[in-house]
Structure 1
Amino acid sequence: MSDSDASGRASVLAPLDARIADLVALYEDLHRHPELGFQETRTAAEAARRLTGFGYDVTTGIAGTGVAGVLRNGAGPVVLLRADMDALPVTENTGLEYASTVDGRMHACGHDVHVTCLLGAADLLAAGRERWSGTVVVLFQPAEEIGSGAQAMLDDGLYSKGRVPTPDVVLAQHVAPFGAGLIAYCPGACMAAADSLEITFHGTGGHGSRPETTVDPILMAASFVQRVQSVVSREVAPKDQAVVSVGSFHAGDTANVIPERAVVRLSVRSFDETVRTAVLAGIDRIARAEAAASGADRAPETEVLDSFPVTVNDASTLHEVNEQFVELFGAERVFAYGPASGSEDAGVLATAAGAPLYYWWLGGWDPEEFRTALAAGRLAQDIPSNHSPRFAPVARPTLTMGVQALTVAALNRWGRSPARGGPPCGA
């Protein structure tokens, strides 16, 4: 980066110190008021209100609750920055002063951090527009947790109806349970494809005292739950990765009645389409085989509840943005991390645009607590993960670094644009 580019970056970031207290208050307010997927009306209204104040052209109601802000600022690439808004059906157990005020709902995955950081970056980019040339799109997406929010926005004409210009790059981040002040990245496939399935096993009900007159769907489904683990252990090569986890099992209402059906819900994670296809086929085969072995008259039924694609980082974009991260934060705070078996739908926005994606992880846990747990070899025991009722990112320095990361990632693309004069770096 040239001295002039570094000076421009510093100028754009400079107002953050004066704005951080307001962003902390926003984060705490969002955390108090979590909203589930496609119900994010309060969060969306606050995002739209602030974006309007920053001078963005704002579109609301995309796929119900999605919000997009567009700031056109001369010739140059279109950069899309994305944050997800939805919370989870989790009862909070953090003890925070600003804990959720909504029973059974919590920002247990840090989307309140994401919204706050993106609004902070949108503010800085608007205030510092004399330092860059191009178009920024800031997208507040609903329903990431159920895997349908990004596609719903696309289906509602996000690009096709010109609600926002088609981006040249898509950038996003996710807060994670490692030390605040750190950024982690993964080249290539960084997050798994995910398929959530509901399998209904049909039996013949009857009195618990006369099981010989029934076809027991509980026994059928229980046998399936045990046997389905062999798909990964015996059908997926050690060099490949896959996860099959059963998260829900429902059958019957009372002790002395064998029910008519049992319903199992499970999650499948994979990084390769061939592996994914084989795993899903194995699950279906075992479900049908267990039903046949039990003498069921009716084959099990499988419903796909949600599906996420593999999230794949573009190598060139990752390298270029990481150069800026290292310059700003220091090499010791930017590190490589292996692929995560969690899943995301941000890549859908990039794929639909034919644009590269870079998706990185932002440390959010208290740094001292993280170091202590790491030194003791107790990360899994002492540091709650995303979706835990105890997941509680610290506001500082998480928000500061998150705003800075989104801002410099956007500036990087405009700084490498031919519109700034000369060829892109590396050409």
Structure 2
Amino acid sequence: MAGPGELAIDPALTDLYKDLHRHPELGFQEHRTASIVADRLRAAGAEVTTGVGGTGVVGVLKNGDGPTALLRADMDALPLREQTGLDYASTATATTADGATVPVAHACGHDMHTVCLLGAATALAADRSRWSGTAVLVFQPAEELGAGAQAMVDDGLFDRFGRPDVILGQHVAPLPAGKIAGHPGPAYAASDSLRVRFIGRGAHGSMPEASVDPVVMASAAVMRLQTVISREVPSTAVAVLTVGSIHAGDAANVIPGHAEIQLNIRSYDAAVRQRILDAVHRIVRAEAAAAGAPEDPEITPTERFPVVTNSPEALRRTLDAFALWLGRDNIMDPGAGAGSEDVGILATSSGAPLSFWLLGGADPALFTTGDLSDPALLSVPSNHSPKYAPDLPKTLPVGVGALVTAARTWLPAAG
């Protein structure tokens, strides 16, 4: 096991984190990050394969006979302008698939995941006396798109590198640094993102009677969509519907020809998911019909994440090891959350049990109770906030130690 005395971190890892944070890359564009990852893995003595699933990287550390553990980190960033004020904050931009130039930031913490796994790889390679078997180190692209895990699977991840006995991974979260949280069974929600384009008829702003106004259509639909969860989903079900984007027109005195909204649905139950999707289709089409739209709205799915299900037995084994290392008081069950992840695809595709946990990443001084009742959880910037940034010196050592501890737990030394 790792121990508290092993939490000192090579300053080079801190420098690497700051470098990756300054240079974020969108999904399937992680070329610079992938190159750095590959170089670091080679330096640690791993067998390295690049270009898996596009920009994914796989490193393999073999240490005699024994089981195989797959440790996964994601590498991509978000199209978002960072507002942390850090001296290593991102000012990067990128071009999206539709040609738009957008700011990019590691506002979800994937740079922390990447550096933690590189640190763990180095530690495992440096001390092979405390584990045996094979560690498959997967650096995944495009988690934010819900496509990277599947792309790696489709590119022969398990045929090329073997089927693991367990999938291990972590996600940094706005919990106090030093805390680790994991929930057995269904732990993270399924997610569906849709783009809806309302088609109207444009006109001069002074002649609304000549138009079919898509702005009004979209606005009415947004308000009606707010009733889906409160009026069409059982109160015992976990479900969220969020309209995160609305856009129409470019001038105050022009009624545009179309308007677009983007929405996201989170759910756990397949029947509830389908009910919500059916309601979305019904509502947007009904609003268009009520407005006399010349065409039905265009409804395009853009992202989909399945439910992430932790193996209760596998998670318990991992968390018990963390409890011996960090103390039982620092291990929590956060319950099922509405966040989404595509790591579960690796488990369902391989048939291996999943053990996936949350890594506390916030300054503990911001909290009072330090548990899940702490009011600070509502005020500390969370993932996907432009102000989100893990507390680097307090988070990185625990993140590296957690992966090392988990790997040694599942790849115990022979004898």
TM-score by length of 2: 0.93
Q: Given the alignment of the two structures, is residue 29 of structure 1 paired with residue 19 of structure 2, yes or no?
A: yes
* CA positional deviation for 1:211: 2.1
Deviation at 1:21, TM superposition (A): 1.9
* 1:367-406 correspondence runs (5 A): 367-371=364-368, 377-381=375-379, 383-406=380-403
Whole-angstrom CA distance in 2 between matches of 1:144 and 1:411: 26
Within the candidate set 329, 333, 350, 2:330 is matched to 333
Distance 2:204 2:21 in 1: 49
Q: CA separation in 1, counterparts of 2:131 and 2:376?
A: 45
Equivalent in 47, 58, 77 of residue 68 of structure 1: 58
The verdict on how the C-alpha distance between 1:378 and 1:10 changes in structure 2, with shifts beyond 3 A counting, is closer
CA contact (8 A) 2:171 2:359 kept: yes
| Runs of 4+ residues deviating >6 angstroms | 372-376
Alpha-carbon deviation of 1:414? 2.3
Q: After TM superposition, give the deviation of residue 182 of structure 1 in Å.
A: 0.6
Conserved 8 A contact 1:87-1:109: yes
**Aligned-pair distance for 1:420?**
4.7
Structure 2 counterpart SS, 1:42: helix
Distance 1:101 1:202 in 2: 36
d(CA) in 1 for partners of 2:226 and 2:393?
A: 41
Aligned to 1:100, which of 74, 82, 90? 90
Q: How far did residue 333 of structure 1 move?
A: 0.6
SS of corresponding position for 2:120: helix
Q: Tell me the SS of whatever aligns to 1:349.
A: helix
In the alignment, the residues of structure 2 paired with residue 136 and residue 145 of structure 1 have an alpha-carbon distance, to the nearest angstrom, of: 25
Alpha-carbon distance in 1 for matches of 2:73, 2:36 = 14
Contact 2:201–2:212 (CA<8 Å) still a contact in 1?
yes
Of 255, 260, 271, 2:252 maps to 255
Over 3 Å counting, the alpha-carbon distance change for 1:269 and 1:254 in structure 2 is same
Worse-matched range after superposition: 272-281 or 129-138 = 129-138
Question: Residues 172-183 of structure 1: matches in 2 within 5 Å?
Answer: 172-183=169-180
1:170 match: 167
The amino acid across from 1:23 in the alignment is L
Partner of 1:20: 10
The alignment partner of 2:285 has SS state of: helix
Partners of 1:224 and 1:159 in 2: how far apart?
44
Contact 2:368 2:376 (8 Å CA) reproduced: no
1:46 aligns with 2:44: no
1:425 aligns with none
Which residue number corresponds to residue 98 of structure 2?
none
Aligned to 2:306: 309
Query: Is this contact kept in 1: 2:199–2:296, CA < 8 A?
Result: yes
Bigger mean CA deviation after superposition, 221-230 or 90-99? 90-99
Change (3 A) 1:356 1:401: same
1:203 corresponds in structure 2 to 200
Aligned to 1:194: 191
Q: How far does the alpha carbon of each residue in 1:300-322 deviate from its partner, in whole angstroms, 9 at most, with x for none? A: 11101111111111100011111
Matched residues in 2 for 1:326 and 1:244: separation? 36
CA contact 1:179–1:367 (8 Å) conserved in 2: yes
In structure 1, C-alpha distance between the alignment counterparts of 2:237 and 2:376, rounded to whole Å: 27
Q: 3-state SS of the aligned residue for 2:367?
A: helix
Q: Distance in 2 between matches of 1:132 and 1:409?
A: 11
Match of 1:56 among 46, 55, 61: 46
Q: How far does the alpha carbon of each residue in 1:116-170 deviate from its partner, in whole angstroms, 9 at most, with x for none?
A: 110111111112223222111001111111111111111222223x1x2121211
Partners of 2:2 and 2:325 within 8 A in 1: no
Contact 1:20 1:400 in 2 (8 A): no
What is residue 79 of structure 1 aligned with on the other side?
69
Q: Any residues of structure 2 matched to 1:252-331 within 5 Å, and which?
A: 252-331=249-328
Pairing of 1:149-168 with structure 2 (within 5 A):
149-160=148-159, 162=160, 164-168=161-165
Amino acid at match of 2:235: P
**2:220 aligned with 1:230, yes or no?**
no
| 1:196 positional shift | 0.8
Counterparts of 2:254 and 2:40, CA distance in 1: 57
Name whichever of 361-370 and 324-333 sits farther off.
361-370
Aligned partners of 2:7 and 2:376: how far apart in 1? 35
Contact 1:63 1:156 in 2 (8 A): yes
Supply the distance in 2 between the matched residues of 1:151 and 1:385 (Cα, whole angstroms): 26
Alpha-carbon separation, structure 2, partners of 1:361 and 1:150: 19
CA contact (8 A) 2:185 2:312 kept: yes
1:67-117 Cα distance to aligned partner (Å, 9 max, x none): 000112222211000000111122222121222242522111111110111
CA distance in 1, matches of 2:408, 2:64: 14
CA distance in 2, matches of 1:133, 1:165: 16
The normalised TM-score by structure 1 is 0.90
Residue deviations 1:305-349, cap 9 Å, x none?
111111111100011111101100001111110222111001111
Residue equivalent to 1:366: 363
| C-alpha contact (below 8 Å) 1:192/1:343 kept by paired residues | yes
CA distance in 1, matches of 2:2, 2:192: 43
Find the aligned partners of 1:10 and 1:349 in 2 and give their Cα distance. 26
Cα distance in structure 1, aligned partners of 2:374 and 2:302: 39
Range with greater deviation from structure 2 (126-135 or 321-330): 126-135
Q: CA deviation at 1:62?
A: 1.4
The residue number in structure 2 matching 1:409 is 406
Q: Residue 26 of structure 2 aligns to a residue in which SS?
A: coil
* Distance in 2, Cα, partners of 1:373 & 1:410: 27
Structure 2: any 5+ residue segments left out of the alignment?
94-102
